[in-house]
Amino acid sequence: MNTKESAEIKALLQKYQKDECTPDERARVEAWLNKLDNTSLSGITPSAEDRILNRIRKRVLKGIPSRSAGRRVYVLQYLKVAALLLLVPGGFLLYSKWKQPAPQALQQYFTARGERKVLTLPDSTIVTLNSSSVLTLSADFGEKKRIVKLTGEGFFHVKHDATKPFIVTTGNIQTQVLGTQFNVHAYNNESEYKIAVVSGMVSVGEKKAANKVVAMGKVLTRNLMLVYNCQAHGHYIKTADADKLSAWQNGQLYFDEATIPEITSTLSRMYNIDVQLQDKPGRNCKYTIGFNSQPLDKVLRVLSQLTGITYQYTNHKIFIQSQNCR
């Protein structure tokens, strides 16, 4: 730490005492002072630190007016900072802590039912969020890794950066890439998570004990999809049309071996209407079908003919009976 850097820190501390800091400057000072409270000084005993503080107190207190109790607390903090920077050999270590940016709040993005949203992240990655979804960026996003948490569904066009892996966490599943396009489907009210790759390569792992991530099968490439069962904690990999699976970005519907409960949830989210399943399907019926931006009533008519379900509108809600699914 050179003389100029030391002077800059002192000037900022003086601004802080006079309430002249910008919000960002105040956050930096307070974050650093909080770190100092928990900093262990290698080689400095408590008695030695007290002697240092007493020496500095005699030199500094004369120039600091007596103020409220809150200010006196600050004066002690100021003295501790001055002592450590001027007299303690570990000052450089503390200076490095000072230079770290103030902690930032988590960034979250939400979509309501019936809404889609396109986001550009700080690293220029583009994310399209499907309805009823939440994307959370880690506080240290972009420093060493690019970590986000997804609840719901999102299509990721990841900006390539070989030095900073891009990681999507969904429950205890972790999807990691460097630069690629892929779709993640992970709603909390559904029994399966699905990760499908449009381009590039994606590795998927499951968090085990002590946060150890265990790889789940082979690396996924274009038109491969990993399906993870949240209850059984099992998975399988299959071939799928990733372009169709991500066509929801354009308002299209595509179901790939979807169950009646999954179809019901999707219709409710996409069309922003309560769709309730009144019974359990008579058997484990699964369907593969697509719709090109069709109105809900037409989608329901086609599904009724295909699956054998019946439905009715009541008080702006749709009730579905699936006992006779085929």
How do the domains of the chain map onto residue ranges?
3-99, 107-241, 251-321
d(CA 166, CA 146): 5
User: What's residue 150's pLDDT?
Assistant: 97
73-124 residue pLDDT tens? 444 555 544 544 444 444 444 445 555 555 556 789 999 999 999 999 999 9
Please tell me which residue, 56 or 275, carries the higher pLDDT value: 275
3-state secondary structure of 314: strand
User: What's residue 217's pLDDT?
Assistant: 86
Is the model's pLDDT at 27 over the cut of 70? no
d(CA 54, CA 62): 13
Closest CA to 263 of 216, 325, 210, 201: 325
d(CA 169, CA 207): 10
Please tell me which residue, 225 or 42, carries the higher pLDDT value: 225
> What type of residue is 254?
Y
- 251-321 under CATH 3.20.20.70, yes or no: no
d(CA 34, CA 29): 9
Query: What average pLDDT does the structure give for the chain?
Result: 81
Closest CA to 303 of 284, 274, 272, 326: 326
Q: How confident is the model at residue 25 (pLDDT cuts 50, 70, 90)?
A: low
Is the model's pLDDT at 225 over the cut of 80? yes
166-214 residue pLDDT tens? 999 999 999 999 889 999 999 999 999 999 999 999 999 998 887 789 9
Q: Is 68 exposed, middle or buried (0-12, 13-18, 19+ CB in 10 A)?
A: exposed
Please tell me which residue, 230 or 326, carries the higher pLDDT value: 230
Architecture field, domain 107-241: Sandwich (2.60)
What percentage of the chain's residues is helix, strand, coil (to nearest 5)?
A: 35, 30, 35
> What type of residue is 182?
F
d(CA 299, CA 262): 15
Closest CA to 175 of 151, 137, 147: 147
User: What's residue 67's pLDDT?
Assistant: 44
User: What's residue 160's pLDDT?
Assistant: 94
C-alpha to C-alpha distances, 135 to 117, 283, 301, 320, nearest whole angstrom? 11, 35, 34, 31
Q: How confident is the model at residue 280 (pLDDT cuts 50, 70, 90)?
A: confident
* DSSP secondary structure code for residue 233 in this structure: T
Question: Burial code of 9-38, b = ≥16 C-beta within 10 A, e = fewer?
Answer: beebbeebbeeebeeeebebbeebbeeeee
Q: How many percent of the chain have pLDDT more than 90?
A: 56
3-state secondary structure of 182: strand
d(CA 267, CA 283): 21
- Look up the pTM and report it: 0.68
d(CA 193, CA 174): 11
